[in-house]
């Protein structure tokens, strides 16, 4: 098992190089964010759709719209990362390893946050006054794989589902995909053509926006067999709640022969806020 000794002077390195990895969270800024929460759970209130009445005669009593208050419960999870650095390790290296390791720890916590958001996207949401009602993902908002990767038709279907649910067209819409689906898009003529897209996708080798979606690539979305589940949603359809920003500390531990402990943590939770604003897009991936 590899450990910190692989960075010793004999390895000819004078910096602690981080290997290829997703550098922290890519989805935190692509969902609604609530900070400063307290307690083990937090409740977020919602309101549904009212119906306007028609006055049918003079001096009739006023009819009041029925209340349509709803709420979602978020349970918090304490996420942490810790690493112990022996004082002999520091002496044997050309650099102090703690700086690079703390960066690696922050990246690890960021990736865990993305995992929580992805799990909450299609998971059971806790709804009701005390969060005791389980609400499942809407089956009608699942676009079947259809023995194909990400196609223009699937993108249009996802857009139609959001439009048909009267999701605000001015709200930011996100499409989370993996590398294989980026390749699928780069082979779609409408995506490549400047007649349909303001971005020269082939030159840049990536997709920023198309059909009203902002694209975010991560390999962390679910891959079951050869089916990758992509996520299309309006930003307010997903919520991340944080008790506080990430806490990072370096401490000397006497009981570990005065080794240095690098530690980082955060307490947060995620939930799907509105089924109508979330769409799953299944894509064949070989």
pLDDT digits (tens, 9 = 90+) for 161-190: 999 999 999 999 999 999 999 999 988 888
Domain membership of residue 158 (yes or no) is yes
- Domain that includes residue 148, residue range: 141-240+274-284
Phi, psi of 170 (to 5 degrees): -90, -10
**What local confidence, expressed as pLDDT, does residue 245 receive?**
85
Domain membership of residue 170 (yes or no) is yes
Residue whose C-alpha is closest to residue 129's, from 180, 67, 220: 67
Indicate the Cα dihedral angle 105, 110, 112, 114, nearest 10°: -170
**If DSSP codes are grouped into helix, strand and coil, which group holds residue 154?**
helix
Domain membership of residue 214 (yes or no) is yes
**What local confidence, expressed as pLDDT, does residue 196 receive?**
53
Residue 279 neighbours by CB under 8 Å, 6+ apart: 141, 142, 143, 158, 161, 162, 231, 232, 233
Sign of CA dihedral 111, 121, 28, 198: positive
Domain membership of residue 53 (yes or no) is no
Q: Are the C-beta atoms of 262 and 98 separated by less than 8 Å?
A: yes
Domain membership of residue 31 (yes or no) is no
**What local confidence, expressed as pLDDT, does residue 13 receive?**
45
Q: Structurally, how many domains does the chain consist of?
A: 1
Sign of CA dihedral 22, 26, 27, 29: positive
**What local confidence, expressed as pLDDT, does residue 18 receive?**
67
Distance CA 273, CA 127 (A): 9
CATH number at residue 185: 3.30.2320
Mean pLDDT in order along the chain per 10 residues (286 residues): 55 57 92 80 80 87 81 91 84 67 88 96 90 92 96 97 96 97 89 59 69 95 97 97 88 91 92 96 94
Indicate the Cα dihedral angle 175, 180, 182, 183, nearest 10°: -160
Checking DSSP bridges between strand 227-234 and strand 173-177, what pairing results, if any?
antiparallel
Domain membership of residue 36 (yes or no) is no
**If DSSP codes are grouped into helix, strand and coil, which group holds residue 251?**
strand
Which strand (E) or helix (H) includes residue 112? helix 98-122
Domain membership of residue 112 (yes or no) is no
Domain membership of residue 78 (yes or no) is no
Distance CA 87, CA 69 (A): 57
Distance CA 15, CA 245 (A): 28
- The token duo for 150 is 């990400």
Distance CA 238, CA 224 (A): 23
């Amino acid at each position: 098992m590899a450990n910190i000794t692989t960075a010793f002077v004999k390895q000819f390195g004078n910096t602690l190089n981080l290997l290829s990895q997703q550098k922290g969270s890519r989805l935190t800024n692509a969902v609604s964010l609530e900070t400063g929460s307290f307690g083990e759970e937090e409740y977020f209130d919602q309101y549904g759709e009212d119906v306007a009445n028609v006055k049918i005669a003079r001096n009739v009593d006023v009819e009041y719209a029925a209340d349509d208050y709803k709420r979602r419960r978020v349970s918090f999870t304490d996420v942490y990362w810790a690493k112990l650095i022996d004082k002999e390790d520091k002496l044997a290296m050309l650099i102090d390893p703690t700086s690079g390791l703390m960066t690696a720890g922050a990246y690890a916590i960021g990736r865990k946050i993305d995992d929580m958001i992805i799990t909450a996207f299609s998971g059971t949401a806790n709804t009701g006054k005390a969060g005791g009602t389980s609400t499942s993902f809407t089956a009608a908002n699942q676009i079947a794989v259809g023995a194909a990767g990400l196609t223009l038709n699937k993108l249009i279907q996802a857009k139609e589902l959001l439009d048909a649910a009267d999701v605000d067209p001015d709200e930011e819409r996100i499409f989370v995909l993996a590398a294989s689906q980026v390749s699928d898009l780069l082979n779609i003529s409408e995506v490549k053509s400047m007649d349909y897209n303001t971005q020269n996708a082939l030159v840049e080798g990536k997709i920023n926006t198309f059909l009203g979606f902002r694209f975010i690539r991560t390999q962390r979305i679910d891959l079951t067999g050869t089916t990758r589940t992509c996520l299309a949603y309006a930003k307010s359809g997903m919520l991340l709640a944080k008790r506080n920003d990430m806490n990072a500390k370096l401490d000397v531990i006497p009981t570990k022969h005065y080794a240095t402990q690098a530690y980082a943590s955060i307490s947060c939770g995620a939930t799907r806020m509105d089924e109508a604003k979330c769409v799953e897009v299944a894509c064949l991936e070989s």
